[in-house]
């Protein structure tokens, strides 16, 4: 599979040293790292808003920057849609004029994305005559996405799309992002300092620290090779799984999901799912590794409904913490204390049960 | 008392001359002020302070000195003026065009300052966003920067216009006090004051001067409000 972006650049600004080499493919790639470590700089270099001191950048097979060949194609020709952290909607134009800004600059033959389609997908049709300042944070973010999309870019670059929005709206933004990716098949780069937000979108992650690439790969591989470590408050770890609706018990408010083979059943308690959701519909769920307990036998007289049987594939020890990878039909990360691991005598290859309450399962619906 | 409203032809020519000079000098200065204002606001280069100093010179120099300098450079015996006269027979000094040029020179720094400030206040982030959407630098300037800076551009224009209406020192030095050709309103007032018994005539012109200035300020305020409202609504 050909890469959409091949990137190598060096940049020096006083105390900040930036030196990265990476490539991005056709799906969604998350760019993760602490604030101020170069994630936004990376996007600015790719989009041409900033020029590296030296390096080579290729987008869609075309060289857009090469300091040796003296090539430097300006932003407007790079055909990238950038969705900025603050939205940056033009305040003196209406929402519709904002949306059409990039579209109008394209000859009709190059307009591959239809206006009516976009406003329907992002549900912003009712805002067209308003001014940006009359819209809420979440609405502004969607308008910014629509504006970038309508310039028919070959890739979308999103800088912290979740940070300007409060927690309850994050799920919303997520849903729209996934909708866009599925509908238009546009590759996306999503920058965020919040790992769960990224993981709900993709498991391809570029880890950035101090201006250089710390690691790149699939999330699980990064965890298991210790490149991705849980930080003190247990924030670095999350399980995200795609499952399908098997059964809905509306009276009890419980929805049952299964894996692809229909063999593994996880019971999920969620109101959102219960509202006339179609059977077989795909949902993404997330469970915190810290919310999962391990038991050597199934526990019958307990309120915990989810008890998945599986095999321990790997055990990672890190001071007082242990991270287990259990194969329950899909990989599940479990966080335990060292003392409990020792007490139960857990080792690789053991048959165990993963227990977690249906309430610890967060649902992110994909429509 | 009825004399107060008895405008003579020289009165009327002074008024129309002032208006002509003020309008034309502002209109001519505006595009240059926008270009230079943008240049100063958005670019960085060595010697920028020098350029800024040169542009602001007419603001701090006594207008008579400005007029004198204009004479030295563009007068018929001046550095450039002599060459121009020998080549084409064109005489700039002591003509309507001299009055026009004097006004342009003194009002230019005012217009430029106002526009530069307005452009500096336009967040470059919006311009960046426009560029990623495919806009050229010119398109970005015309569709984003200028509309967002329009209150400042309008204020600058009106400021220049008002300054031009009140121009005296440079005009009388470089253009002279020729009735019907360079005798603008301030010059006419000054001339009338020199002659005893012309109090009514003087006051007549003073009245017009005040009214014109007030009108300019009212129009400025109105246009300013409208621009601000349009960018908010």
Q: Which CATH architecture is the domain A5-224 placed in?
A: 3-Layer(aba) Sandwich (3.40)
> For residue A191, which phi and psi values (nearest 5 degrees)?
-90, 130
Q: What is the pLDDT along chain A (367 residues), one digit of tens a residue?
A: 578 899 999 999 888 899 999 999 999 999 998 888 899 999 999 999 999 999 999 999 899 999 999 999 999 999 999 999 888 999 999 999 999 999 999 999 989 899 999 999 888 999 999 999 999 888 999 999 999 999 999 999 999 988 777 777 777 788 888 888 888 889 999 999 888 888 888 889 999 999 999 999 999 888 888 777 766 555 678 888 888 888 777 777 777 887 766 666 766 666 556 566 777 777 888 888 999 999 999 999 998 888 888 999 998 887 778 889 999 888 899 999 999 999 999 999 999 999 998 888 887 766 5
Contact residues on chain B for A189, CB-CB shorter than 8 A? none
A112 has a chain B CB within 8 A of its CB: no
Tell me, yes or no, whether B94 lies in a domain: yes
Please answer whether residues A191 and A43 qualify as being in contact, where contact means their C-beta atoms are separated by less than 8 angstroms: yes
Domain at A239-365, CATH class: mainly beta
pLDDT, chain B, mean? 89
pTM of the model: 0.84
Total structural domains in chain B?
Answer: 1
B172-227 pLDDT per residue, tens = 999 999 888 889 999 999 998 888 888 888 888 899 899 988 988 888 888 878 77
Q: Please, which residues 144-183 of chain A have a Cβ atom closer than 8 Å to chain B?
A: 147-148, 151
Encoded tokens for B46: 């060595």
Give the one of A74, A80, A88 whose C-beta lies nearest to B129's C-beta.
Answer: A88
Contact residues on chain B for A84, CB-CB shorter than 8 A? 125, 129
The CA-based diameter of chain A, rounded to the nearest angstrom, is 72
Q: How far apart (Å, rounded) are the C-alpha atoms in residues A321 and A333? A: 13
Contact residues on chain B for A101, CB-CB shorter than 8 A? 130, 133, 135, 143
Helix (H) or strand (E) holding B18: helix B9-42
Please answer whether residues A269 and A281 qualify as being in contact, where contact means their C-beta atoms are separated by less than 8 angstroms: no
Helix (H) or strand (E) holding A71: strand A71-72
Tell me, yes or no, whether B1 lies in a domain: no
> For residue A109, which phi and psi values (nearest 5 degrees)?
-65, -25
Domain that holds residue B138: 7-232
Q: How far apart (Å, rounded) are the C-alpha atoms in residues A230 and A246? A: 33
A102 has a chain B CB within 8 A of its CB: yes
B74, B80, B83, B88: CA torsion to nearest 10? -50
B228 has a chain A CB within 8 A of its CB: no
Residue of B118, B124, B128, B133 to mutate when probing chain A, most A C-beta within 10 A: B133
Tell me, yes or no, whether B13 lies in a domain: yes
CATH of the domain at B153: 1.10.3720.10
Tell me, yes or no, whether B41 lies in a domain: yes
A90 has a chain B CB within 8 A of its CB: yes
Q: The tokens 């003194």 sit on which residue?
A: B106
The segment(s) of chain A belonging to CATH 2.40.50.100 are 239-365
A84 has a chain B CB within 8 A of its CB: yes
């Amino acid at each position: 599979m050909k890469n959409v972006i091949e990137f190598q650049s060096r940049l020096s600004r006083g105390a900040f040293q930036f030196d990265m080499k990476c490539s991005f493919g056709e799906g969604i790639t998350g760019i993760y790292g602490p604030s101020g470590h170069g994630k936004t700089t990376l996007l600015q270099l790719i989009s041409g808003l900033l020029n590296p001191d030296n390096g080579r950048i290729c987008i869609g097979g075309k060289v857009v920057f090469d300091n040796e060949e003296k090539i430097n194609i300006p932003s407007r020709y790079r055909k990238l849609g950038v969705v900025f952290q603050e939205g940056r909607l033009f305040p003196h134009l209406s929402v519709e004029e904002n949306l059409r800004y990039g579209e109008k600059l394209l000859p009709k033959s190059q307009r591959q994305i239809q206006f009516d389609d976009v406003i329907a997908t992002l549900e912003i049709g009712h805002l067209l005559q308003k001014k940006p300042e009359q819209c809420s944070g979440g609405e502004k973010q969607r308008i910014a996405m629509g504006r970038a999309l309508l310039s028919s870019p070959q890739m979308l670059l999103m800088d912290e799309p979740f940070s300007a929005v409060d927690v309850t709206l994050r799920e919303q933004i997520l849903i729209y992002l996934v909708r866009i990716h599925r509908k238009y098949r546009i590759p996306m780069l999503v920058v965020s300092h919040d790992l769960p937000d990224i993981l709900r979108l993709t498991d391809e992650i570029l880890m950035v620290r101090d201006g250089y690439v710390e690691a790149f790969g699939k999330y699980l591989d990064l965890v298991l090779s210790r490149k991705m470590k849980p930080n003190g408050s247990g924030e670095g770890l999350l399980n995200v799984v795609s499952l399908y609706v098997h059964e809905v018990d509306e009276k009890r408010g419980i929805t049952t999901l299964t894996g692809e083979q229909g063999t593994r059943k996880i019971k999920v308690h969620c109101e959102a799912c219960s509202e006339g959701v179609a059977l077989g519909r795909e949902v993404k769920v997330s469970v915190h590794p810290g919310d999962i307990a391990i038991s050597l036998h199934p526990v019958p007289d307990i309120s915990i409904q989810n008890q998945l049987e599986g095999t321990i594939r790997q055990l990672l020890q890190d001071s007082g913490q242990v991270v287990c990878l259990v194969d329950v039909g899909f990989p599940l990360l479990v966080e335990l204390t060292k003392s409990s691991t020792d007490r139960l005598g857990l080792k690789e290859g053991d048959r165990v049960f993963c227990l977690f309450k249906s309430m610890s399962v967060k649902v992110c619906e994909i429509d | 008392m009825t004399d107060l409203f008895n405008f003579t032809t020289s009165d009327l020519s002074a008024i129309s001359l002032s208006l002509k000079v003020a309008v034309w000098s502002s209109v001519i200065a505006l595009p240059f002020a926008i270009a230079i204002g943008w240049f100063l606001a958005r670019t960085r280069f060595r010697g920028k302070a020098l350029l800024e100093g040169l542009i602001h010179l007419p603001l701090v120099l006594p207008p008579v000195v400005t007029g004198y300098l204009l004479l030295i450079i563009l007068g018929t015996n001046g550095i450039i003026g002599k060459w121009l006269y020998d080549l084409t027979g064109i005489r700039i000094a002591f003509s309507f065009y001299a009055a026009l040029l004097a006004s342009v020179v003194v009002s230019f720094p005012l217009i430029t300052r106002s526009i530069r400030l307005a452009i500096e206040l336009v967040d470059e982030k919006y311009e960046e966003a426009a560029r990623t959407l495919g806009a050229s630098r010119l398109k970005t300037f015309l569709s984003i920067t200028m509309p967002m800076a329009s209150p400042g551009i309008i204020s600058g224009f009106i400021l220049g216009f008002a300054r031009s209406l009140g121009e005296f020192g440079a005009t009388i030095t470089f253009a002279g006090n020729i009735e019907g050709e360079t005798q603008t309103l301030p010059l006419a007032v000054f001339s009338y004051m020199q002659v005893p018994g012309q109090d009514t005539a003087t006051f007549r012109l003073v009245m017009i001067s005040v009214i014109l200035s007030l009108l300019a300020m009212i129009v400025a305020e109105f246009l300013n409000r409208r621009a601000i409202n349009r960018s908010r609504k």
